[in-house]
Amino acid sequence: MPVHETERTISFLSIDFPKGEDGHTLVIPKKHYESIEDVPNITQLELIKHVSLIAKVIRNEHGGCNILLNDGAPAEQTIMHTHFHLVPRDKDDGIEIELWTRTRMPKEKYTKLCHKFRKLAKKHSKKGKK
């Protein structure tokens, strides 16, 4: 049963809920796109507006939410259809989403990586709009 529907997107409650949480919602494009970069720009815009609406709905009942997109198998995407997870959050809810070990990157390495990503972003942005 849909929570909300637009021309190109749909949202529905997940059947997978973190313990003590009651509103894990998925927002997906109606057409199949495996990765976020495959989604046409007009659908991307509709997706982010839809995600924003569902976040507002969740904040009506909870303190906040995590918005997640697992993009690609190495990122633990198991359903190969682009979809956003919105997980309701409340203070001290015990849900642990960010489990990686944090380290500080040396400034020189950080700057080099930033320049590399800027160059790649510029290259890919010139490949044409969808």
The per-type count for the chain, helices as H runs and strands as E runs, is 2, 5
Could you give the 3-state DSSP secondary structure of residue 48? helix
Annotated catalytic, 85? no
Q: What distance in Å separates the CA atoms of residue 10 and residue 4, rounded to the nearest whole number?
A: 6
Burial class, 110, CB count within 10 angstroms (exposed 0-12 / middle 13-18 / buried 19+): exposed
Active-site annotation holder among 4, 83, 85, 115? 83
AA identity, residue 28: I
For the annotated catalytic residues, the residue numbers are 83
